[in-house]
């Protein structure tokens, strides 16, 4: 039997042995094919004078005309700047939020209380952005909004949060943090659950307080998880959501 035939048999044996591992790849492959690659067909409308009534096959092909008009638009650099600012704010304020919340939850010793808090902070993730925007409107509107009632009580005047340009970015960041921070704690809490409890006991014996244990035991244990998620976040730096 030749060496090539031996190699072929070995590969077949590996495929047969690991067939269930390859089977587990199917859901992931289908996800990317359906939700990532199939929608890329819609990219062609960027090169067309697209009309919903004519569709992608009937719309006129204009090449790079849309891109030229966009880059020559006076608002292009303002839009680009705002995108970078929102992305930077997301990285500075939202990314650390799940880490901080996970560390706080990890310090709770009453499991029933901890699970209850986790349940409540997970709920906003499952709400649509329409509901989040509606809640924001109810809280910040000048027509009886809760926040404006409080501001009016203490300062004697209302603030038009929803129409003031200076409040746009804080509102957007507040919405993102409120909606996604709880769900972002899932990975970090899982990482924290793997920390060897003997390390905490050794730190206590050495006289380390709660903050010292947090700084020298807990954070180093999840450092690799934080770095990996930060790299993944940087890969979507300009993805500022809807």
pLDDT class of 181 with cuts at 50, 70, 90 = very high
- pLDDT tens-digit readout, 35-72: 888 888 888 898 999 888 888 888 899 999 999 999 99
- pLDDT tens-digit readout, 62-99: 999 999 999 999 899 999 999 999 999 999 999 999 99
- Domains defined for the chain, CATH in brackets: 1-72 (no CATH), 76-242 (1.10.3720.10)
Do 206 and 217 meet the contact criterion of CB atoms below 8 Å apart?
no
Q: Is the pLDDT of residue 5 over 80?
A: no
For residue 110, the model assigns a pLDDT of: 83
Tallying the residues shown for the chain, one arrives at 242
CA–CA separation, 184 and 192 (whole Å): 13
Q: Is the pLDDT of residue 146 over 60?
A: yes
Q: Which two tokens stand for residue 18?
A: 């690991």
CA–CA separation, 45 and 163 (whole Å): 33
Using DSSP's 3-state secondary structure scheme, residue 202 falls into helix
Render 99-113 in DSSP notation, one character per residue.
Answer: HHHHHHHHT---HHH
Q: pTM of the prediction?
A: 0.73
Q: Output the CA–CA distances (angstroms, integers) from residue 129 to 42, 126, 148, 177, in the order listed.
A: 23, 9, 22, 13
């Amino acid at each position: 039997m030749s060496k090539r035939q031996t190699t072929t048999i070995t590969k077949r044996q590996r495929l047969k042995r690991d067939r269930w591992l390859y089977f587990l790849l199917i859901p992931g492959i289908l996800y990317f094919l359906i939700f990532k690659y199939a929608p890329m067909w819609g990219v062609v409308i960027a090169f067309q004078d697209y009309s919903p009534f004519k569709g992608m096959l009937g719309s006129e092909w204009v090449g790079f005309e849309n891109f030229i008009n966009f880059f020559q638009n006076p608002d292009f650099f303002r839009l680009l700047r705002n995108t970078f600012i929102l992305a930077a704010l997301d990285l500075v304020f939202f990314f650390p939020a799940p880490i901080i919340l996970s560390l706080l939850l990890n310090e709770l010793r009453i499991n029933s209380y901890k699970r209850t808090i986790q349940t409540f902070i997970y709920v906003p993730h499952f709400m649509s952005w329409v509901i989040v925007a509606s809640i924001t409107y109810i809280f910040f509107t000048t027509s009886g909004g809760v926040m404006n009632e409080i501001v009016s009580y203490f300062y004697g005047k209302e603030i038009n949060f929803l129409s003031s340009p200076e409040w746009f970015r804080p509102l957007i960041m507040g919405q993102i943090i409120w909606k996604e921070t709880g769900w972002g704690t899932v990975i970090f809490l899982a990482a924290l659950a793997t920390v060897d409890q003997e390390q905490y006991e050794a730190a206590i014996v050495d006289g380390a307080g709660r903050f010292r244990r947090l700084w020298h035991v807990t954070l180093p244990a999840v450092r690799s998880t934080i770095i990996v998620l930060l790299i993944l976040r940087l890969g979507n730096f300009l993805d500022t959501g809807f």
